[in-house]
Chain A
Amino acid sequence: GENVEQHPSTLSVQEGDSAVIKCTYSDSASNYFPWYKQELGKRPQLIIDIRSNVGEKKDQRIAVTLNKTAKHFSLHITETQPEDSAVYFCAASKKNDKIIFGKGTRLHILP
């Protein structure tokens, strides 16, 4: 089955700098890659997603890139702000199939 690896497990960046979280997946048939943000004690919230027919997608300060050949995808957050502090999960799935999550990255934005 699908296996999703996520790095780093913890990331601290200075406010205003960029943060990058990287994930790899194992099943070449996976074609949907969402990213979720989870604040302490709350449910995960979808922040951006990408499908395998697209190499890059951007939404304001958040962007996701996908390299299907290498089975890599990454989350980029620019101009980080204190409210970006949270745990971020990458995930992968095939159409209408279960979504498998990475282990998460705890992002700390330093003042």
Chain B
Amino acid sequence: GAVVSQHPSRVICKSGTSVKIECRSLDFQATTMFWYRQFPKQSLMLMATSNEGSKATYEQGVEKDKFLINHASLTLSTLTVTSAHPEDSSFYICSATDGANVLTFGAGSRLTVL
């Protein structure tokens, strides 16, 4: 079945630094990848939709200059949290579709900003 790899699984950084999270589809080409954020005991909130070769589409309330998304190839999308602050601490999960609506999730990245 479809496999999505996400790295790093955990990251701790100091306030003001930037963190990059990678999402790779390992055995299929993902024209579209999605980035979600999940706070403890809450649902998955869609942050942005990433299409290969074009600018990401951000959901309302998500700062595009703070959460930089790049989808340079059909198998890789990256999320960079710039100038991270403690309130950005969360579980970030990417997902990718094979074009048939089936959504496969990465393992998630737990970001802690000190």
Tell me the A residues contacting B by CB distance below 8 Å: 32, 34, 42-46, 49, 89, 93, 95-96, 98-104, 106
Beyond A42-B107, A103-B42, 15 extra complex contacts between A and B, CB < 8 Å:
A43-B105, A43-B107, A49-B101, A49-B102, A89-B44, A96-B32, A96-B99, A96-B101, A98-B34, A98-B49, A99-B46, A99-B95, A99-B103, A100-B46, A104-B43
Interface residues of B in 18-43 (CB under 8 A from A): 32, 34, 41-43
A89 surroundings in chain B (CB, below 8 A): 43-44
A101 contacts B43, C-beta separation under 8 Å: yes
Is the pair A102, B34 in contact by a Cβ cutoff of 8 Å?
Answer: no
A46 to B96, CA, bound (A): 13
- Chain A residues lying within 8 Å of B106, measured Cβ to Cβ, are 43
B interface list, Cβ under 8 A from A: 32, 34, 41-44, 46, 49, 93, 95, 97, 99, 101-108
Q: For residue B46, which residues in chain A have a CB less than 8 angstroms away from its CB?
A: 98-101
CB <8 Å contact, B44 and A44: yes
* 9 tightest Cβ-Cβ pairs between the two chains A and B: A43-B105, A32-B101, A103-B43, A101-B44, A104-B43, A43-B107, A101-B43, A98-B49, A44-B105
* Chain B residue at minimal CB-CB distance from A104: B43
Contacts of A45 in B (CB 8 A): 105
In the assembled complex, 13 residue pairs joining A and B whose CB atoms fall closer than 8 Å, in A order, are A32-B101, A34-B103, A43-B93, A44-B93, A49-B101, A93-B101, A96-B99, A98-B34, A98-B46, A98-B49, A99-B101, A101-B46, A104-B42
Contact B103 A95 (CB under 8 A): no
| B residues in contact with A49, CB < 8 Å | 101-102
CB–CB B43/A95 < 8 A = no
Q: How far is the CB of A2 from chain B (nearest CB, A)?
A: 10
User: Smallest Cβ distance from B114 to chain A, in angstroms?
Assistant: 20
- Give the CA-CA distance A99 to B49 in the complex, in Å: 10
Cβ contacts under 8 Å, A34 to chain B: 101-103
* CB-based contact A46/B102 at 8 Å: yes
Distance to closest chain A CB from B31 (angstroms): 9
Beyond A43-B93, A43-B108, A96-B32, is A102–B43 a contact (Cβ under 8 Å)? yes
